[in-house]
Chain A
């Protein structure tokens, strides 16, 4: 149980392109999903918390106009990197929490490796 699917796994695109990443909870409802970014040899950095039916909460320093998050249903959240540039190249990982309890474990998707040329 607690399977989180993330798509696509790899994206390579030109600078200026917008990229959409999907995160789905397959066997549970996730009222809260999280988006992380991880640069090589560094730990996960939380970008934003996505709550179903409401606006996402962004961490300090994360541009909300550049990283658009939509959590339209209890099983799907999307992250759109708008007008991506080479410095946005990174490993983007989503996670979902199974219950509304804040201290419950987060389950991660397989991640999306984004390369901007």
Chain B
């Protein structure tokens, strides 16, 4: 069973602070990693994706990947109340049967306090 683990939170940070969200995965062969944001009652929205070790920045968001440690993180700088949501880590994996799918973590709930 290929798994993706996230701290469910809630993670609370003050407005303007850096929020750090973490994710570990079990499939050492995974190559593609995604962060989605899901507001309550809504469907997931793609925030970032990363394929290579290191950092990838997009505006206030930075994704970090360490394949050796099987660890991927998302940093949100200058956090805003509108960033309050559940953040889902997803890992692209190929099953033993050869099918391709995204495996999602349970998500980390982030609250940014004004």
A2 to B42, CA, bound (A): 17
Q: For the complex, is A102 an interface residue (Cβ under 8 Å from B)? A: yes
Annotate A40-80 by CB proximity to B: 1 below 8 A, 0 otherwise: 00111010010000000100000000000000000000000
Q: For the complex, is B69 an interface residue (Cβ under 8 Å from A)? A: no
A103–B104 contact, CB under 8 A? no
Cβ of A39 to closest chain B Cβ, rounded Å? 12
Cβ of B32 to closest chain A Cβ, rounded Å? 4
B interface secondary structure, majority: strand
User: Count of A residues near B, CB < 8 Å?
Assistant: 18
Q: For the complex, is B34 an interface residue (Cβ under 8 Å from A)? A: yes
Which of B42, B43, B100, B104: most chain A Cβ within 10 A? B43
A108 to B99, CA, bound (A): 20
When A and B form their complex, what is the total count of cross-chain residue pairs whose Cβ atoms lie within 8 Å? 44
Annotate B73-112 by CB proximity to A: 1 below 8 A, 0 otherwise: 0000000000000001000101000011110111100000
A108–B45 contact, CB under 8 A? yes
Annotate B30-52 by CB proximity to A: 1 below 8 A, 0 otherwise: 01101010000011111001010
Report the nearest A residue to B109, measured CB to CB.
A41
- Chain A residues with CB under 8 Å of B102's CB are 34, 46, 106
Chain A residues numbered 79-96 whose CB sits less than 8 Å from any CB in chain B? 93
B42–A110 contact, CB under 8 A? yes
A44 to B86, CA, bound (A): 12
Q: For the complex, is A16 an interface residue (Cβ under 8 Å from B)? A: no
Q: For the complex, is A7 an interface residue (Cβ under 8 Å from B)? A: no
**Which of B32, B51, B101, B104 touches A43 (beta carbons < 8 Å)?**
B104
Cβ of A88 to closest chain B Cβ, rounded Å? 18
| A-B residue pairs in contact (CB < 8 Å), sample of 19 | A6-B43, A42-B106, A43-B88, A43-B104, A43-B105, A44-B88, A46-B101, A46-B102, A93-B43, A93-B44, A102-B100, A103-B31, A105-B49, A106-B102, A107-B46, A108-B45, A108-B46, A109-B43, A110-B43
Residues of B within 8 A of A (CB): 31-32, 34, 36, 42-46, 49, 51, 88, 92, 94, 99-102, 104-107
